[in-house]
Amino acid sequence: MTVAADPGVRSASDLIAAARTLAADFATRAGDHDRDATFPFENFEALRAAGLLNLTVPREYGGEAAGLDTVAHVLGAIGAGDPSTALVLSMQYVYHAMEAMRRAWPAGVYERVARESVAGTALMNALRVEPELGTPARGGMPATTATRTAAGWRLTGHKVYATGSPILRYYLVFARTDEETPRTGHFLVPSDAAGLRLEKTWNHMGLRASGSDDLIIEGTELPAEHALDLKTPQEWQQQQDPQSSTWNTVIIAAMYNGVAKAARDWLTEYLHKRVPSNLGASLATLPRHQTVTGEMEVLLYTNGQLIHGLAQAADAGGTNLQGGIVKHAVTQNAIRVVELALELVGNPGLSRNNPLERHYRDVLCGRIHTPQSDMVLLNAGKAALGVK
């Protein structure tokens, strides 16, 4: 018996095709947003209109419940068009995809956020990094503090790298309680809550349109139910979430691989169009250029196998998937692809009249995302040597 497809659920190929169409449009403005460090609001309106903002929201709330492999394809496409847009979108995807996160939220809170997101544009991102602490992935307690009140909590602190801050509806603020035995967790903070102030501090080399400014939190009052997942540090260590780790690493890898593909595409077009007078043929006919382009293809093919092989294994319920190793390898390969393109074309590649220098600045940002390479290599080495 043939079962009819659910008309409300689109196929992975349809979602990926829609992402590629939008990415081509985003690419026409990415240089302008990069130059002026302006946030691409219009890209998110286009994503909303195309139904691509809520790919990982569960179907019972109106989302697509897309798997990691589909999401990786979508973010790879968007990353090729405008990686700043892809980075903000990736955070929306990962936090809606996390089953453990949803289970930790008080009853009804996640459903409300999910339905609001599906009804319009209600993006969220976790704000974890602080000026003194750096990233909590390397250990330590946040200085941002939650104090008990009669009605719930009062939050005070300072977060940096609040990616997507110009458009976010919700901040998931990582904070500590001031209890005798402090707990840490995320607090759901509406962006229009009293006591919040954005400081325009983002002046970065790459991903300049990502709106990763500072958020100052000055006594923001929250209801009790907005404390989402409070645990002691020991409880956090005992309750690791492999799904979260795998999703975070794969989507970041896919995004930066998209940047590398954009660089490859620009290079191939340039090599065909450039016809030096002393050669009488395009640069694409030269064996050296063909060999270097072939090296880039090997790196991109390897990246695709790593990203989608891991994503498909995760979708099939696999465990111990070594996402950190994949993220390290893919981002290093992506950086090398863009470096090869720059080495091949010389001065034109470094001209701001061409997108290649922007692709290089953007792809280098892959190194700073958690997990960073030194930690990945350290952990891999310890595992191989059988030492703790």
Q: What are the backbone angles phi and psi of residue 211, rounded to the nearest 5°? A: 60, 40
Q: Is residue 6 part of a domain?
A: no
Pick 181 or 242 by higher pLDDT. 181
Please give the single-letter amino acid code of residue 26: F
Peptide bond into 40 cis (omega under 30): no
Which residue's entry shows tokens 């005070």?
A: 156
pLDDT value, residue 125:
96
Q: Where are the alpha helices (DSSP H) in 2-108?
A: 12-36, 41-49, 68-81, 83-97, 99-104
381 in the same domain as 261? yes
Non-local (6+) Cβ contacts of 156 within 8 A are 144, 145, 147, 217, 218, 219, 220
Q: Which of 236, 216, 141, 223 shows the shortest CA–CA distance to 188?
A: 223
Give residue-wise pLDDT tens across range 285-318: 999 999 999 999 999 999 999 999 999 999 999 8
Among 11-15, 139-143, 144-148, 245-249, which stretch is predicted with the lowest mean pLDDT? 139-143
Give residue-wise pLDDT tens across range 119-142: 999 999 999 999 988 777 777 789
What does the pLDDT average to over 83-108? 92
pLDDT value, residue 88:
98
Q: Has residue 249 got a pLDDT over 60?
A: yes
Last residue of a domain, one of 232, 256, 284: 232
What does the pLDDT average to over 146-161? 97
Average pLDDT, rounded, for the chain:
93
204 in the same domain as 333? no
CATH of the domain at 63: 1.10.540.10
Q: Has residue 6 got a pLDDT over 60?
A: no
**Confidence category of residue 383, pLDDT binned at 50, 70, 90:** very high
**Side-chain half-sphere exposure of 210, counting CA atoms within 13 A:** 27
Burial 190-200 (b: 16+ CB within 10 A, else e): bbebeebeeee
164 in the same domain as 140? yes
Give residue-wise pLDDT tens across range 208-218: 999 999 999 99
- Domain around 209: 124-232
CATH of the domain at 214: 2.40.110.10
pLDDT value, residue 238:
67
| Contact criterion met (CB below 8 Å) for 324 and 376 | yes
pLDDT value, residue 8:
57
Q: Has residue 1 got a pLDDT over 50?
A: no
Question: What's the longest Cα–Cα distance across the chain?
Answer: 80
What does the pLDDT average to over 49-54? 96
Last residue of a domain, one of 93, 119, 145: 119
| Contact criterion met (CB below 8 Å) for 323 and 250 | yes
What does the pLDDT average to over 340-354? 94
Q: Has residue 281 got a pLDDT over 50?
A: yes
Among 31-35, 95-99, 139-143, 189-193, which stretch is predicted with the lowest mean pLDDT? 139-143
205 in the same domain as 174? yes
Share of the chain above pLDDT 70, in %: 97
128 in the same domain as 252? no
Non-local (6+) Cβ contacts of 43 within 8 A are 22, 26, 29, 82, 85
Give residue-wise pLDDT tens across range 101-124: 888 888 799 999 999 999 999 999
pLDDT value, residue 243:
83
Q: Is residue 167 part of a domain?
A: yes
Q: Is residue 1 part of a domain?
A: no
| Sheet strands (E) in the chain | 124-127, 145-148, 152-162, 170-177, 184-190, 196-199, 213-223
For the chain, what is the domain count?
3
The first and second tokens of residue 270, run together, are: 């340039």
Q: How far apart are the C-alpha atoms of 173 and 217, rounded to whole Å?
A: 10
109 in the same domain as 149? no
Last residue of a domain, one of 232, 262, 286: 232
pLDDT value, residue 3:
31
| Contact criterion met (CB below 8 Å) for 296 and 340 | yes
Q: Has residue 100 got a pLDDT over 90?
A: no
Bridge partners, 148 (sequence order): 153
Q: Has residue 264 got a pLDDT over 50?
A: yes
Q: Is residue 160 part of a domain?
A: yes
| Contact criterion met (CB below 8 Å) for 255 and 90 | yes
310-313 contact pairs (CB < 8 A, 24+):
310/246, 310/250, 311/67, 311/68, 311/69, 311/71, 311/72, 311/250, 312/69
375 in the same domain as 275? yes
pLDDT value, residue 234:
79
What does the pLDDT average to over 173-199? 95
